[in-house]
Amino acid sequence: MNATDTPAAARCAASFVLLIALLTGTAKAGDEHILRTDPPVAGASVFVDGEPAGTTDSNGNVVVSGTPGSHEIRVEYQGRIFKTPKTFDPEITELEPFPIGEVTMVTETQPPVVAGSGGTATDGTGSGAATGGGQHTVVTPPPKQEVTDWWLIGLVALLVASVVLLVIVTLRDRRKTLLRPPPSGVMLPIAEQTVGHFDRYRLTGTLGSGGVGTIYRAFDLVDKTDLALKVLDSRWLGDPDMVRKFLLEGQTLQAIRERDANARVVKCFRYGREHDSIVGRPFIALELIEGETLQSRLAREPILDELTSTAVGHQIATALVSVHGAGVVHRDLTPDNIFLRKGDLVVSGRRFTSVPMVVLIDFGIARQELMSRMTMDGSIAGKPHFMSPEQCRGLDVDARSDLYSLGIILFLMAAGRLPFAGRDPFDVMRAQQTEDAPRLPTDANARYAELCARLLRKNRDSRPESATVAAAELAELLVSLDDASSLNVVSFLKRRLSS
């Protein structure tokens, strides 16, 4: 058998599975839902309306099936039996967590007894309820006499043989060519690999990783283009809230682009779950941008010249206009989320070829959630050196919080240092709330320094009213600097070296 026999073998195995399902009556119509025990326990047996539905995995998860409506869910774990009703909604794939130890525990006795001990009593049928403290003993009924169904054993053996054959053929085919696209509908886990396949993408390398996911360089086998593929780490699959916030980043990026096609934010091509499966790994397919982050540029060149810092600041403010116009607050505007690439910048009819183009590359909604969980009270998320006073206090933030972060970035590019520095993040957060921001050096452009000071005011009502205002002022300054270029304006850095 060669690699071309794989589709025939797959169809053969699928036919055997369908035949067995029809004969044994185990195939059930209905939607699939994810049920998770609370707290998560592994190895618990789950039943839907008395029928076995599966066993929980290491995260306490199990996929169950059922028609829309109310169903009785029973979980058996370590000799204890728990029952509670659940409503299956076809629009909701994840059921509310099934509490272990917080519902009435039902014990069954055989033969029936009338009284129990330790706070437990049974009725005449041998069933009873135990709540509260005390030790409970579950008396299991005597084993029923087993009846051997030889025809069923034969079918199961036939199924096992078919699956083994399919696995052998598939492994043989994959050994011949690792980079061959997977058959439609086949899910291949990627773990921590750097080469392979995921959904409709061929992975060609790793671009980076963070607290919640890994970013791969990938090739779209459908659209025939290179892109960046952001995939949620498998350890978060059991956290529905983290999954939702991860995918929310893709939804946010698309919403911004739909409102403003020229927005200076990274493009999101697709987002969802691998192969559109409810158990597939969540992913976001993003535009692949060549260049470097502003953080990398500042590490190499701590102080940028007036023209470059003004041009970068103008483009950040312009990006915020698009973001805020879509009803989104970034909340994490930092140099490592600002990407610089080559290109020509056009402002007020002027073309600037010596300055980099700016793209916001990471909204990190799920990562912000992770950082929030790691704080003492869970009320803040962000990097303290770039957070607004209201964000440090854990208050609700609006677009003016992003303008404060823009002011810190303008200060950093011109001075080569942060206005509020320190190794202790709590000391930095206290300074953000109580200390006035220092002024830029006297050799800084006066209009640049004045805008920076307004952006860094503690009272949000005293800052510029919008990113549009900041972008317009920086555009005017950029044009004036271009007019003065013939006068040989000296950069911040050269002035430092000559003093």
By the 8 A CB rule, do 305 and 264 touch? no
Question: SS3 breakdown of the chain: % helix, strand, coil, rounded to 5?
Answer: 40, 20, 40
Indicate the helix (H) or strand (E) that contains 283. strand 282-286
Find all residues with CB under 8 Å of 454, minimum gap 6, and list them. 407, 462, 463, 464
Question: β-pairing, 196-198 with 201-209?
Answer: antiparallel
> Taking a C-beta distance cutoff of 8 angstroms, is the pair 259, 325 a contact?
yes
The three-state secondary structure class of 284 is strand
E-strand ranges in 78-189 read 80-88, 98-99, 105-108, 121-122, 127-130
Catalytic residue of the set 173, 239, 305, 332: 332
* Closest listed residue to residue 67, CA positions, set 98, 23, 32: 32
Distance CA 360, CA 123 (A): 67
- Cα 147 to Cα 150, 155, 477, 498, distances in angstroms: 9, 16, 88, 96
Q: How many CB atoms lie within 10 A of CB 37?
A: 22
Catalytic residue check, 344: no
Rounded distance between C-alpha atoms, residue 147 and residue 145, angstroms: 7
Catalytic residues: 332
